[in-house]
Amino acid sequence: MLICKRSLILFLLGVFGADADEVKSVSVMEGDSVTLHTDVTDIQRDDQILWMFGPRDTRIAEIRNQKPNTYDETARYKGKLKLNNETGSLTITNISIRNSGLYKVEIINSKETSGRKFNVTVYDEVKSVMEGDSVTLHTDLTHIQTQDQILWMFGPRDTRIAEIRNQKPNTYDETARYGSKLKLNNETGSLTITNISIRNSGLYKVEIINSKETSGRKFNVTVYDASADNRSHVCAVTVAAAVVVLVVFIGIVVAVKQSRQRSHEEGISINHLNNDMRANRDEVSVPLAAANGVQHPPCIG
Ligand SMILES: *[C@@H]1O[C@H](CO)[C@@H](O)[C@H](O)[C@H]1NC(C)=O
Ligand SMILES: *[C@@H]1O[C@H](CO)[C@@H](O)[C@H](O)[C@H]1NC(C)=O
Ligand SMILES: *[C@@H]1O[C@H](CO)[C@@H](O)[C@H](O)[C@H]1NC(C)=O
Ligand SMILES: *[C@@H]1O[C@H](CO)[C@@H](O)[C@H](O)[C@H]1NC(C)=O
Ligand SMILES: *[C@@H]1O[C@H](CO)[C@@H](O)[C@H](O)[C@H]1NC(C)=O
Ligand SMILES: *[C@@H]1O[C@H](CO)[C@@H](O)[C@H](O)[C@H]1NC(C)=O
């Protein structure tokens, strides 16, 4: 399996939406930091900023009378909140799954109240897999208990793709998307997708249900087209070849000019000119070979 660090960075930039009333989606990997922006550049004296979280609009941070305050003494936020006293933007550091949810900010001044909403999703894991490879999504259970129920889901509609119920493992991979690609480990509940294809990219969720509680994990799986890397390799070589062709062309132009001058001055024949061209081509064929040897930088393994 190939993991590209680059894709993790791209993933962390996953902030969409612009409208004031719209809920902005923010995707963050567990352990990373995320900043939710108010878009206020300079807080005015009478501005009040109020940050809220969750279904009960629990107050988690505010700026009132120019005094910033965070209410992060709870287990959920312990020391994780940083409030920018100039912009009112809120940073959540070392984010965890339980920080997932709906964040709201209200900016209140004497004239008006404006606001923004952020839907923050924290992923346990981001996996980048090359097409044709296998990937295993782990439940982190070492041993399934008799009463444990494991449910694997895929995509925006949480389509059930595999489950362990009453100790019976089952995969629902008769669809074209999964045609016998799924392997469910009956000891740990972990799911392996073999010979993965682009259409297996997406959000995977697992729910672990027992008599006491329900826990879960989320995985953002991105499958890379194996030929895409080859294509950029080919592209690099093509550019290198184009440069070489240009050098040859300039060489010819120079040669033609020089030969013309010489043929004017000394009356040299066209045959000599052709030899000049060949000589030029031989000279530049060395960088062409070198360019072909240039390897496309590999992904971090
Ligand atoms: C999964 O990660 C990719 C980039 O790696 C990103 O473009 C995509 O939006 C993410 N999916 C979700 C559901 O967050
Ligand atoms: C804002 O915070 C900085 C340090 O982070 C501090 O120097 C400054 O006095 C603060 N301003 C206000 C208005 O609290
Ligand atoms: C981040 O949080 C986890 C618990 O959620 C904790 O174990 C870890 O030490 C924290 N890391 C840092 C750098 O604070
Ligand atoms: C937030 O995003 C998650 C996953 O993308 C989605 O399931 C949930 O419905 C969204 N919540 C809101 C309030 O938009
Ligand atoms: C788990 O699978 C192994 C073979 O992969 C089988 O021998 C064993 O009986 C299975 N256990 C259960 C509880 O289904
Ligand atoms: C992997 O899947 C592709 C189609 O997605 C198929 O052509 C190929 O035969 C499969 N390879 C294996 C080893 O199953």
Segment 74-128, tens digit of pLDDT: 778 888 999 998 899 999 999 988 898 999 999 998 888 889 999 998 887 778 9
| Ligand 2 atom, smallest distance to 85 CA | 1
The whole-number pLDDT of residue 270 equals 38
Pairing mode, strands 202-209 and 191-193: unpaired
CA 195 to ligand 6 center in whole angstroms: 6
Mutational pocket test of ligand 5: of 149, 165, 186, 192, the residue with most ligand atoms within 8 Å of the beta carbon? 186
How would residue 261 be classed by pLDDT, with cut points 50, 70 and 90? Answer: low
Would you state the pLDDT for residue 196?
94
Does position 70 have pLDDT exceeding 90, yes or no? yes
**pLDDT of 161 above 70:** yes
Model confidence at 215, pLDDT cuts 50, 70, 90, reads confident
pLDDT at position 185 over 60: yes
Residue whose Cα lies nearest atom 9 of ligand 5: it is 186
pLDDT over threshold 50, residue 298 = no
Between the CA of 272 and the centroid of ligand 5 the distance, in Å, is 82
Q: What is the CA radius of gyration of the chain?
A: 30
Ligand 1 centre distance from Cα of residue 123 (Å): 10
**pTM tops 0.85:** no
Asked whether the predicted pLDDT for residue 232 surpasses 80, the reply is: no
Q: Is 185 in the pocket of ligand 4 (CB under 6 A)?
A: no
Top-ranked range on mean pLDDT: pick from 138-142, 148-152, 237-241, 247-251: 148-152
